[in-house]
DNA sequence: CATAGCTATTGGATCGTTCCAATTCTAGCG
DNA sequence: CGCTAGAATTGGAACGATCCAATAGCTATG
């Protein structure tokens, strides 16, 4: 087991100096084409692999971006993560993806590890919970940090934030359900007290308030399982409810499955609108109406804003809201009860 | 904008030498507790952050494991990735997750980038397609590399491989459908010619052959969309088919949605079994029977085998097959046609 | 009180690259 | 043929940690 070859070995083999090899590695157009050929051949022959740690040590700029996601299992975030990675890859940046699993402690570890590995910037969708220390530490590094899709609960203004205009989306969904004839519209999902829950709920509340209608809200973890359970609760405790705006598509899909299980399939008298418009929404049965968020576009946008910050030092505006639009499908368009 | 403090700055502040600071960083029990206190205080005061690039350069051992997944959007793989990351985190290793998106070229780039960043080992679920170069390069590094869940098509024996016993699983599923009274069992999904398709199909084929029954197979991308489309094809071209073993749960869910759309909901005469038992299988309606693969357990196992290799130099057996088990649910237990 | 045997600390060399200033090469021109 | 401008190449310092061998400090012991 011998050690990995270095540029010195390459240089010796190619009969040039290490500096020349370094220039070749960096794609400098200052080396003569034939010299470049020789060097490249030498590299291939002895199986040279670039040692990025050494390079970073000297040059301090790393083509590495960290991405910390609170729940990578959620397809919405998975889609964002993969799209962002691809957008950054196109610009020559590598992305390390990590999942904090809604655990502020794990999140702190992950962020720390990324800083140590010398990421040039960080994109984070924060876990719920107390994490001021993590963010203070992050702020001290002076690294470009973008909050996306979610904002931490305290110190909201520490880093620029970009997300969708959830309030407008839920208002649109609620108005749509009213137009379709619904009169008792519940809100289902979302952990109480969270900023994002407030946002996604606020549009619904404002519209119902303006109409003087009753407001039933069931809060809980935003999972399929909670949606199923919520279906039973609605049927048992709030039989008058004839429609629901859901915190996200997972809850909506669970809700629909729950109604189906109870023999009251959605589409016949009960209307549902979800949030996020994940791929599955168009492929469920009945197809799920959803507030679409063009997450792939958002990811590309995020990449562009991040690059502008990193490369041109152009700090993005502190808060950005991307418009959303309702995609009506069968789950909210069925015949009235 | 001043530069990041180094251990020299910490040393100066704490009134000790850089070597002592280094020992503190490594948690050596050779430093006096009060000295440690002093040093730690100094670090906190000047906001020191560890520079892992520099450390790696000298020590060559990096607590970093690379994970390259062919389709991170597939919940099955997402679950595996997050579980593996957590298992490795518990042992002090950081994991970089990347998505090759079934693109051998992107995969080559990602693998290259990971090697450059000095990962201590690599876990890969290869993309379909030609990638000998990538794997040869990988083999030359001498790094521990584990193939999981999928095996590359050529040079199958280059790296140890671990997966589930898919053939046994599909045989069990097929026998179960026969027991339930099905007589025309189709196989749906899976790209033709792939090793994994052959595996998941072989059990089905053997059982049907033994019974002398007809074998209808629809191949295609293993997505929800293909499942929906397959439903239409089955209804139109193979009306006699009364059950299906699906390549994976996504296809099965799409198939169920497609039948529902056509007014022939699964559970009434038509039976479906999926593969992977993703979380959603238990939360769809009707609940989906599926061949369960305990992916989280598999991930923990993978972590253990990888650590044994990295730390103790114990190369795992070349091929490992984890048993699977059928979880029967409503989608295959409904009343006969 | 000298000394052996610890433990705790230290300075210098080192890892593999990039950066910089200096040097060598090449071609063109009078 | 000598000179020069520009291109191509080069050697040495630097990055920030770890490693190692050497040293200083401290007790216990004869």
List of domains in chain B = 7-50 (1.10.260.40), 64-159 (3.40.50.2300), 166-293+325-333 (3.40.50.2300)
State the distance between the two ends of chain B, measured CA to CA, in whole angstroms: 75
Q: Roughly how many angstroms between the first and final C-alpha of chain A, as a whole number?
A: 75
Task: Tell me the average pLDDT across B12-33.
Answer: 93
pLDDT of B2 higher than 70: no
The pLDDT value given to residue A1: 47
Which bases in strand D are touched by protein, i.e. have an atom under 7 Å from a CB? 7-12, 14-21
Mean pLDDT, rounded, for B159-178: 96
Q: In this model, does residue A314 exceed pLDDT 90?
A: no
Give the distance, in angstroms, between residue B220 CA and nucleotide C2 C1'.
88
Helices vs strands, H then E, count in chain A: 13, 12
Query: Which residue of A lies nearest to B94 if distances are taken between CA atoms?
Result: A113
Question: Average of pLDDT values for B53-82?
Answer: 89
Mean pLDDT estimate for chain A: 92
Burial of B141 (0-12, 13-18, 19+ CB in 10 A): middle
Interface membership of A94 toward B (CB under 8 Å): yes
Mean pLDDT comparison of A131-135, B158-162, B331-335, highest-scoring range: B158-162
A51 and B116 Cβ atoms separated by less than 8 Å: yes
Q: Is A8 exposed, middle or buried (0-12, 13-18, 19+ CB in 10 A)?
A: exposed
Mean pLDDT over B171-186 rounds to: 97
Q: How many Å apart are A79 CA and D10 C1'?
A: 49
Residue A130 pLDDT exceeds 50: yes
Neighbours of A333 (CB within 10 A): 14
Statement: residue B310 has pLDDT above 50? yes
- Give residue A69's pLDDT: 97
Per DSSP, the three-state class of B99 is strand
Segment B75-89 mean pLDDT = 93
* A61 pLDDT above the threshold of 80: no
A284 touches chain B (CB under 8 A): yes
Predicted pLDDT of residue B265: 85
Six token digits for residue A125: 């969708």
Mean pLDDT of chain B: 92
Residue B1, pLDDT score: 47
Q: Are A140 and B47 a contacting pair at CB < 8 A?
A: yes
Quick check: helix, strand or coil at residue A326? Answer: strand
What is residue A72's predicted lDDT score, i.e. its pLDDT? Answer: 94
Residues 6+ apart with CB under 8 A from A249: A76, A274, A275, A276, A277, A278, A280, A281, A288, A290
Q: How far apart are CA A102 and CA A29, in angstroms?
A: 48
CA distance A149 to A254: 22
Q: Answer yes or no: do B53 and A49 touch at CB < 8 A.
A: no
Q: Binning pLDDT at 50, 70 and 90, where does residue B336 land?
A: low
**C-alpha closest to that of B331 among A261, A132, A113, A163:** A261
Q: Is the pLDDT of residue B233 over 90?
A: yes
Q: In B52-103, which ranges are continuous DSSP H helix? A: 52-59, 75-90
Residue A298 has pLDDT above 90, yes or no: yes
pLDDT of residue A100: 94
Q: Are strands B243-246 and A289-292 parallel, antiparallel or unpaired?
A: unpaired
Least confident of A20-29, A328-337, B305-314: A328-337
Does pLDDT of B241 surpass 70? yes
Tokens read off for A177: 């359900």
More reliable by pLDDT, A140 or A23: A23
The two three-digit tokens of residue B11, written as one number = 């040393």
Single out the residue of A131, A49, A226 nearest to residue B115, CA to CA: A49
Give the dihedral sign, CA B141/B142/B148/B150. positive
Mark A183-218 as b/e (b = at least 16 C-beta within 10 Å). ebbbbbbbeeebebbebbbebbbebbeeeeeeebbb
Share of residues in chain A with pLDDT > 70 (%): 98
Residues of chain A in contact with residue B50, where contact means CB-CB under 8 angstroms, are 116
Q: Per DSSP, which regions of A31-70 are E strands?
A: 64-69
Instruction: Give yes or no for CB of B56 within 7 Å of strand C.
Output: no
Q: pLDDT value at position A336?
A: 56
Whether A117 and chain B come into contact, CB under 8 Å, resolves to yes
User: For position B67, what pLDDT does the model report?
Assistant: 97
C-alpha B84/C-alpha A64 separation (Å) is 22
Interface check B228 vs A, CB under 8 A: yes
Tell me how far the alpha carbon of residue A310 is from its chain's centroid. 20
């Amino acid at each position: 087991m011998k050690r990995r070859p270095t540029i010195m070995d390459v240089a010796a083999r190619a009969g040039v100096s290490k500096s020349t090899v370094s220039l070749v590695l960096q794609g400098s157009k200052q080396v003569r084409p034939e010299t470049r050929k020789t060097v490249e051949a030498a590299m291939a022959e002895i199986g040279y692999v670039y040692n990025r740690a050494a390079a970073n040590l000297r040059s301090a700029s790393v083509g590495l971006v960290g991405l910390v996601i609170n729940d990578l299992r959620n397809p919405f975030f998975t889609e964002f993560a993969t799209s962002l990675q691809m957008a950054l890859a196109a610009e020559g940046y590598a992305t390390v993806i990590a999942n904090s699993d809604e655990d502020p402690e794990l999140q702190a570890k992950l962020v720390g590890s990324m800083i140590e590995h010398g990421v040039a910037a960080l994109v984070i969708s924060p876990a719920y919970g107390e994490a001021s220390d993590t963010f203070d530490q992050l702020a001290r590094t002076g690294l470009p940090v973008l909050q996306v899709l979610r904002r931490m609960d305290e110190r909201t203004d520490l880093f620029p934030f970009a997300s969708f205009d959830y309030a407008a989306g839920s208002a649109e969904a609620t108005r749509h359900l009213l137009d379709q004839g619904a009169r008792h519209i519940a809100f289902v999902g979302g952990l109480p007290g969270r900023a994002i829950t407030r946002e996604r709920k606020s549009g619904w509340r404002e519209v119902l308030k303006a109409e003087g209608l009753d407001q039933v809200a069931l809060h809980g973890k935003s999972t399929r399982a909670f949606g199923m359970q919520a279906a039973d609760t609605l049927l048992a405790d709030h039989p008058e409810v004839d429609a629901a705006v859901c915190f996200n598509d997972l809850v909506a899909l669970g809700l629909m499955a729950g109604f189906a299980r109870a023999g009251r399939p959605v589409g016949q008298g009960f209307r549902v609108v979800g949030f996020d418009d994940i791929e599955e929404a168009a492929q469920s049965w009945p197809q799920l109406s959803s507030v679409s968020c063009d997450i792939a576009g958002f990811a590309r946008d995020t990449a562009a804003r991040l690059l502008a910050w990193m490369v041109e030092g152009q700090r993005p505006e502190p808060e950005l809201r991307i418009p959303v639009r309702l995609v009506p499908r069968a789950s909210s368009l069925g015949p009235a009860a």
